[in-house]
Structure 1
């Protein structure tokens, strides 16, 4: 079953993303991802395309509870519609 995740990352690193959106497939691996940066920039990655800052995780996504146990992360399950909206806003970066 495919599910969708949004994680707000609470930090002060100026070059790192502050919101992470993931489409998670049956085996727990990301199949698509969008990262939102502090300046509003959106980058996306899928099985064929990634940027220097945004790529799919090489390990399965942890459970919502495990992610939430880290104080710098605020995760929530989102619907497909919200993920698709952010995915389409991100477009494809020319950076590889």
Structure 2
């Protein structure tokens, strides 16, 4: 698995500012968290989705491809950091 955090530099209230993705060996998303500028969020995995967030049905670009667009700042993160964020938002719903 690969874990990715992407900051999206924009001024749209209805688009996420930070995205976290868990990406499998075939480069498909397994889990995703989207955090909006106002603090609201969306979350998705293969079994459910919340807040308008859904997993991408296409292969995810690698970090170099993402960083070609200067509006996106991608960084690899640890599984532990991803799990911390996942648990924060996932368990907020229960």
TM-score, with length taken from structure 2: 0.92
- 2:47 maps to 48
Alignment root-mean-square deviation, CA: 1.5
The alignment covers a number of residue pairs equal to 93
**Hey, which bits of structure 1, 4+ residues long, moved more than 6 A?**
none
What are the residue-to-residue correspondences of 1:15-26 with 2, within 5 Å? 15-26=14-25
How far the C-alpha of 1:52 sits from its partner, in A, is: 5.0
How far the C-alpha of 1:42 sits from its partner, in A, is: 2.6
- 2:31 maps to 32
- 2:79 maps to 80
How far the C-alpha of 1:41 sits from its partner, in A, is: 1.9
TM-score, with length taken from structure 1: 0.90
What are the residue-to-residue correspondences of 1:2-13 with 2, within 5 Å? 2-13=1-12
Structure 2 gaps, min length 5: none
